Amino acid sequence: MDALVSAGLEDFLAAAPRPQRLVMGLLLALARRPRGAALLARMPLAEQAAQATLALGRYDAPAVARPLGWDAAAVVARGRELRRAEGRP
Amino acid sequence: MTDVLEADFCVIGAGAGGAVTAAELAEAGARVVVLEQGPSHDADEFSARPPEMLARLYRDGGQTVTLGAPPILLPLGRGVGGTTLVNSGTCFRTPSHVLERWAEEFGLELDETSLRPCFERVERSLSVAEVTPELAGANAAVARRGAERLGWSHGYLRRNARGCVGSGVCVFGCPTSAKQHTGITYIPRALAAGARLFTGADAREILVRGGRARGVLARMPSGRTLEVRAPTVIVACGTVHTPLLLRRSRLPDDSAQRGRNLALHPATAAFALMDEPVDMARGVPQSFYVDEFAGEGIMFEGVAGPPAYAAMSLPLTGEAHARAMADYRRLAQFGLMVSDESRGRVGTLAGRPVIRYSLCERDLAKFRHGLARLEELFLAAGARQVHLPLPAGVRPADATARDLKLMAFHPLGTARAHARAGHGVVDGELAHHGLSGVYVADGSVVPSALGVNPQLTIMALATRLAFHLLGTSVPDRAVDPRAPDAQPDDEEATCRS
């Protein structure tokens, strides 16, 4: 897996209902290729869905998110510490 | 093979409505069985990573989409806690003008006075308190500055949170368990009082004989069938799935309203590039509102999240998207929600829910007006650039329904309450018309859009139902300060920075 793409993207795509999963798989395949992207550009709704999904995966990757000030691991660690210290569920 | 259980009450669903009903009934000594289709979630597994959490905490990975113009993304929670696990925690009581409309139009005997003890009881149980400006963060400060400069009505939101530190991921599983969703409040109370909870239990049929409820059949993860024999069944599967279960159970529908009247509170959001650092995910994402246009059915509420969330919702593509995301730390975001007059319906295709909903002209006009005002809000706050959720070159006044990029979080109305059997699925006590022992306690009974987030309304109605079933009134501490309560209210109830 590319370090600049979140591993969680696969889980996200797999969780979609089957028809959407198939359509999104096709759209992402197009979006990742220059000629496919040009084709998608003629279908704004489809392009928007594909680009949004790719962006979700890209900006979730720690290597991309950390320079933008977001460290998910630190947020989770702080949460765990607080829950344990205060006996929260 | 079928396993059989006996109970006084079988509650289907452990979200806002089901969990509340189950806890109140169990604490009164009733034998309660709760059937929840999804899993139980452990806060130790919350990663603050949007794609992973969407897949785990949401039905269909949060990718439920309505069919119509425009298609609308409708994320729904799945599991113990239901959508309360993944909502922003905003708590509004039902507006008085909405209650008045329900009385006039639907014959429902609900008013502020009679519901007050229900709201107060829920608010104490969930530690509802107003967000502090410090905890609200810089994203809220941007909206506040704009509203103050324009002289628009605004305020900090009330939320169900205890010991919140502003992790910024309410909708992806609170890592501090500060958000008081029903999975860590009402459900533990129900279990402590002896209720039995079954997760992974797919309720297939409400059993009815001779016009009376007899119980529920559920398919269990093991492949076995569980029959819960109970004279009273409370359906709380949520607005999308409740009408489907009622239909699958072949319950009467003389009103022909089952699955209809779907309201959604369609919503969208705009981004703004500010001069100062915003770091939108630091603080409570939904902490501030602007209700200047609430009378027109337009509400502005905060939204925010980590870069992955922002990148997914930023209405740009290609280089423009990359440039805007490079400035993520200076991006602010605010949402616009419409109290809709459009109505959709829920049906099935090959066993899956199909949700049809198209925006009517009046709601489209609200979006046109609201987006123009949202841009005005950001510009008044000093935004360098505003990114509206519209295609390039389309101004709000010219937007068509298909130009809008919409989401919705508040499905309501598909088993609407109406005093008259010919007009609603349940009556004013949430009892299924034409049957004995079947009740509904989720957003599906809410007969119209509220214009505000609905979780408190659903929970108050569920509280009212539980005490109705118990044959007692909701304890009213305004009348009797010694009235029993689930949570002492001298405990810390406010968020802390």
pLDDT of B408-465, one tens digit each?
Answer: 999 999 999 999 999 999 999 999 999 999 999 999 999 999 999 999 999 999 999 9
Look at residue B491 in the predicted model and tell me its pLDDT: 40
Q: Is B459 exposed, middle or buried (0-12, 13-18, 19+ CB in 10 A)?
A: buried
Q: What region, left, alpha or beta, does residue B260 occupy, with left being phi > 0 and alpha being psi -120 to 50 degrees?
A: beta
Does position B2 have pLDDT exceeding 50, yes or no? Answer: yes
| pLDDT (tens digit per residue) in B172-221 | 999 999 999 999 999 999 999 999 999 999 999 999 999 999 999 999 99
Does position B488 have pLDDT exceeding 50, yes or no? Answer: no
Which chain B residues touch A58 with a CB distance below 8 Å?
Answer: 308, 311
What is the average per-residue pLDDT within A63-72?
Answer: 97
Chain A residues interacting with chain B (CB cutoff of 8 angstroms): 6-9, 11-17, 20, 44-45, 47-48, 51-53, 55-60, 64-65, 68-70, 72-73, 75-76, 78-80, 82-83, 86, 88-89
Look at residue B459 in the predicted model and tell me its pLDDT: 98
E strand segments, B67-200: 72-73, 128-130, 154-156, 158-160, 196-199
B261 φ, ψ (degrees, to nearest 5): 65, 25
Among A56, A70, A80, the residue with its CB nearest the CB of B312 is: A56
Look at residue B481 in the predicted model and tell me its pLDDT: 67
Size of interface A-B (CB pairs under 8 A): 147
Look at residue B489 in the predicted model and tell me its pLDDT: 47
In which band, very low, low, confident or very high, does the pLDDT at A7 lie, cut at 50, 70 and 90? Answer: confident
Look at residue B245 in the predicted model and tell me its pLDDT: 98
Does position A16 have pLDDT exceeding 50, yes or no? Answer: yes
| pLDDT (tens digit per residue) in B93-132 | 999 999 999 999 999 999 999 999 999 999 999 999 999 9
Look at residue B1 in the predicted model and tell me its pLDDT: 82
pTM here? 0.96
What is the average per-residue pLDDT within B13-34?
Answer: 98
Taking all residues of chain B, what is their mean pLDDT, rounded to a whole number?
A: 95
Look at residue A2 in the predicted model and tell me its pLDDT: 63
| pLDDT (tens digit per residue) in B146-162 | 999 999 999 999 999 99
Look at residue B461 in the predicted model and tell me its pLDDT: 98
What is the average per-residue pLDDT within B250-258?
Answer: 97
Q: What are the angstrom distances between the C-alpha of B29 and each of B191, B214, B461, B473, B496?
A: 12, 20, 20, 16, 36
What is the average per-residue pLDDT within B17-34?
Answer: 98
Q: Residue B178's closest chain A neighbor by CA?
A: A88
Which chain A residues touch B391 with a CB distance below 8 Å?
Answer: 44
Locate A34 and state its tokens. Answer: 């220059």
Which chain A residues touch B54 with a CB distance below 8 Å?
Answer: 12, 15
In which band, very low, low, confident or very high, does the pLDDT at A45 lie, cut at 50, 70 and 90? Answer: confident
Does position B81 have pLDDT exceeding 60, yes or no? Answer: yes
Query: Cβ(B410)–Cβ(B456) under 8 Å?
Result: no
Contact B60 A69 (CB under 8 A): no
Look at residue B485 in the predicted model and tell me its pLDDT: 60
Active site (catalytic) residues of B: 410
Look at residue A30 in the predicted model and tell me its pLDDT: 95
Q: Long-range contact list for B371-375, CB < 8 A, 24+ apart?
A: B371/B268, B371/B270, B371/B336, B371/B396, B371/B399, B372/B396, B372/B397, B373/B292, B373/B293, B373/B298, B373/B300, B374/B270, B374/B300, B374/B334, B374/B336, B375/B270
**Percent of residues, chain B, with pLDDT higher than 90:** 94
In which band, very low, low, confident or very high, does the pLDDT at A4 lie, cut at 50, 70 and 90? Answer: confident
* ipTM exceeds 0.90, yes or no: yes
Look at residue B263 in the predicted model and tell me its pLDDT: 98
Q: What are the angstrom distances between the C-alpha of A20 and each of A25, A44, B231, B240?
A: 8, 17, 40, 18
User: How many other CB atoms are there within 10 angstroms of residue B96's CB atom?
Assistant: 10
Give how far B469 is from chain A: nearest CA, Å.
Answer: 30
Q: Which amino acid is at B285?
A: P
Does position B495 have pLDDT exceeding 50, yes or no? Answer: no
